[in-house]
Structure 1
Amino acid sequence: MTDGEVKRFSAELFGKTISFEVGKLASLADGAVVVSCGGTDILVTAMGSKNEVDRDFFPLVVDVEERMYAAGKIPGGFFRREGRPSEKSILTARLIDRPLRPNFPEGMRIEVQVIATILSVDQINHPDVLAVNGASAALCISNIPFNGPVGAVRVGLFPEGLAINPTIPEMERSALDLVVAGVLDPESNEVDIIMVEAGASQVSEADLVEALEFSKQGIREMIRLQQQMIQEVGKPKREVNLRKFDFEAVENRFPDMKAKVENLLREMARNQVDKP
């Protein structure tokens, strides 16, 4: 992909067109994607530090930047500027983080930042699920090591049946608000669900299981689209040092630790079951 070239990728998902645009905005980022559906547009950028940091955990930061102008509004009040992150933006950042974090190489210690900036919202299409797909796409086409792609969809349950990515007005009459993220198993070529978040109103277990299976159709399509992006505009992944942990040395130093922890966990689980 040459400098200044703009490429667009789109897929039809249950009557809605989801598109990814690469090359127009944030060209200096390691990976940048504008994901759109209807009048909702989100810029997602991914950056990784050049050097690893001295941490005993993977330093991934996910941030969602809401802007009043995205809804055609100007902040009111004395300061007339954007305030602190809203509860919705914090929850959306966590929604993005959960399916992404397990798909980085174990032991990687470079700082990675994923920023989702909401450019416009049409009050019809949810920006949160779009941001999850956009974050995965930005990481996949970047040079940051990432074992993606990750696909995500929202499933609603209506009297006429299940629906993928219902609109905001449609969700008002849905008995189920289910967000599912998954990856593609390279051996079986089946979708493996890695994250579920749901709210429901008296939904049976059978309906929930059916909704989870139904979501795999949309997840597979989102993964297919990102795989196409990797082939056409993806950068070669860079080499990073992966920290190795000597678990055998820990077991030799504390031979009874594993049994003690397992007994403690069983006792905690038993106490939870026995609670009235």
Structure 2
Amino acid sequence: MGGTLLIEVDQVAGIIADPRVAAVTLTGSTEVGAIVAAQAAAVLKKQVLELGGSDPFVVLADADVEAAAVTAVKARYVNVGQSCVNAKRFIVEEAVADAFVAAFTAAAAKLKVGDPTDPETAIGPMARANLRDTLHDQVRRTVDAGARLLLGGEIPDGPGCYYPPTVLDHVRPGTAAFDEETFGPVAAITRVADADEAIALANRTEYGLGAALWTSDLDRARRLTRLLDAGAVFVNGMVASDPRLPFGGIKRSGYGRELGAEGIREFVNTKTVWIGPAV
């Protein structure tokens, strides 16, 4: 028997401690995940946490650049960039970086910003004003650190928490848009010399939810997917959840798995029964 409880934040710990609750699962921020995990651990209850992410979208020199750019725009800007599995860092080999950036920026510039009930709108308002302010601060700090602003980057006048599709090029590790989770319509593009540097920078994050890898060499793809620190890797496609497949992260993106058979087993207790000979 289940139900929905509409409760305040200060009531959560009490609900978790209630003996009728056997386990806890959360999809949310890393900060809130740590709090919920501590509350559940205090009463020895299993948790599954699907938390924040800074997913890399790696484009190697032998990739179909046009297809990668089209998919990258969708992967970054779907749901106004407000998803843990949005692609957030675009790591591109220098040999194809100019072509990728040109195609990506041109496609992003065509996204219509406006009323989310309008079928033609691609970018609606962000969830809250403080989220927009945080995102804009990340953009300004990244530009101040040397990144190039190619598109957007300014808070528009008028009502609503709107932020335009924004593209930052030449983003380097150590800057806000690379190191922090950017939860909104901002794309950070980093150029690398080769595949080895691409994988190294893809893994240079405290998160490990999803990753995308674009290459025409599937044998190399099989090798490189093993090197990417992520709970899910999609080759020549965008990261997405699928009820048939397990989904979840590593590092500060959480632990445990949702969906698929593994997701069901997370909340199934294994019971050992041994029966001796009848007396």
TM-score (norm. length: structure 1): 0.23
TM-score (norm 2): 0.23
Higher relative contact order (CA 8 A, sep 6+): 2
